[in-house]
Chain A
């Protein structure tokens, strides 16, 4: 920049800066007395002020926002040889107010820097202003859109979780439903085949449940089902699966458990239910019992065979007087001749 300026103060210096007239930046040039020595076409257009109304005047008279905060002292520092100064639009309110057609004001990012004269001292300070309104608007739009998308994704995830729950959970007990039970049983049988670990299944049915419904009403019946779900889930391992597969019909899948293990679990549940007393909201005392059938997976069995064995064991427990555990012997079905 050295040599651009002619003898300072004496002649119109505008020509030295005229090449900055059509920069897409607002350019304001100040002398050491803080008088405006150049005001480019861009600023004329932005501010609506004609150049001849601004030139030669004290800048803080024309643009009072410059007197706020730390702007003028920092411009003074530049005249003393200091480095360029940054004025962000967030911390300064519209140094050169520039109205937009919609009534808003342009957002300006400012950088001020010194221009040295022949003697090496800073004779002029140039304040350049970049219009960042559009950039800011686009960034804001992007941020808004991102937030909207995030909100929508969250809502969709919540909806998805809800749908999965509706599809796989029993609404009354929050246990796995029939569909989820079959999926889990299938998966656990495959795992058992792969790992060689045993697998046991317990079929459970509340005894004389219809009479509870008939005597106390369906609401109490529902409470009893929830009460049983709670009682049966006590003491199960994290890998065990308790499911409600029908009205008063439940199953437990016990991975890595043999028939004896499953029989102990079944007996514990039977005792818990037998000992429990359920008191309804009406103060009615309801006692109930459960019958349980235990079967374990044999090499020759598929899923339906295992289910059939567990059901048969449950049937045997019912036939044997209810409130008991029957364990499937795990032998091949006796033929009619042997029976």
Chain B
């Protein structure tokens, strides 16, 4: 699966917009100023993704997923390694919220569900709105599961995977952890057509 450099740039820009919005929302809830950087965007077919799974597929992750159907169908997932998730939960609830009466497991899950939802909605919203795609959503889903188990039942030759590596960082530049955003879609064609339309128009709407 190859994106042209131009398509890649447009996609990156869209994801940046969405991540930026999500970071803005998260920063209203956090004391420290959290940045979300995007070091890498990779588009793969299922075969190329299998290689990634072989390398990193077994670690259990906290996963927040958003299913969608319509103009393009699939799901977007935000995957937190335990360390990133712990750090973020501490940042979020360390200040104003009374954590003494809360048990940490439900606190952890609840917070990760909401943060994941905010980030995915930011990215998904930006892509769908700017590209003017018609999409309906499924209810948000949360699981603690390995990447491989998240994918295996659905792996299909036609499936495409968009992998976005995102770094959580503080304003000071300290990088605190990596999260991964994944789009698994039946086909990228709708997405690519919409991106090409934007490119022909010469600017992001």
Taking beta carbons and an 8 Å cutoff, which residues of A are in contact with B? Answer: 69-70, 73-74, 77, 80-91, 109, 111, 113, 116, 120, 132, 135-136, 139-140, 142-144
Contact = CB atoms under 8 A, between A and B. Distances in A.
16 contacts: A69-B29, A74-B25, A80-B129, A81-B129, A81-B135, A83-B120, A83-B140, A85-B117, A86-B114, A90-B93, A91-B93, A132-B106, A136-B106, A140-B102, A143-B104, A144-B103
A87 B114 contact: yes
Contacts of B25: 70, 73-74
The interface residues of chain B, by DSSP majority, are classed as helix
B128 A81 contact: yes
Interface in B6-53: 25, 28-29
Contacts of A132: 106
A334 to B, nearest CB: 73
Interface string B102-116: 111111001101101
Contacts of B111: 88, 90-91
B37 to A, nearest CB: 21
The interface residues of chain A, by DSSP majority, are classed as mixed
B92 interface: yes
Contacts of A143: 103-105
Contacts of A80: 125, 129
A113 B105 contact: no
A83 B29 contact: no
User: Most B CB atoms within 10 A — which of A80, A86, A88?
Assistant: A86
B121 A83 contact: yes
Contact of B121 (A69, A82, A88): A82
Contact of B66 (A83, A87, A90, A109): A83
B110 A90 contact: yes
Contacts of A116: 136
Contacts of A69: 28-29
Contact of A113 (B68, B101, B125, B139): B139
B114 A88 contact: yes
A93 to B, nearest CB: 8
Contact of B29 (A70, A81, A120): A70
Given A70-B29, A83-B137, A86-B113, A91 B106 contact: no
Contacts of A70: 25, 28-29, 118
Contacts of A74: 25, 118, 121
A140 B128 contact: no
Contacts of B139: 84, 111, 113
B160 interface: no
A86 B106 contact: no
Given A90-B107, A139-B103, A85 B121 contact: yes
A3 to B, nearest CB: 14
B114 A140 contact: no
B124 interface: yes
Q: Which 6 A-B pairs have the closest CB atoms?
A: A88-B110, A86-B117, A143-B103, A90-B110, A88-B114, A82-B125
Contacts of A86: 113-114, 116-117, 140
Contact of A83 (B92, B107, B113, B124): B124
Contacts of B102: 90, 136, 140
A84 B66 CA distance: 9
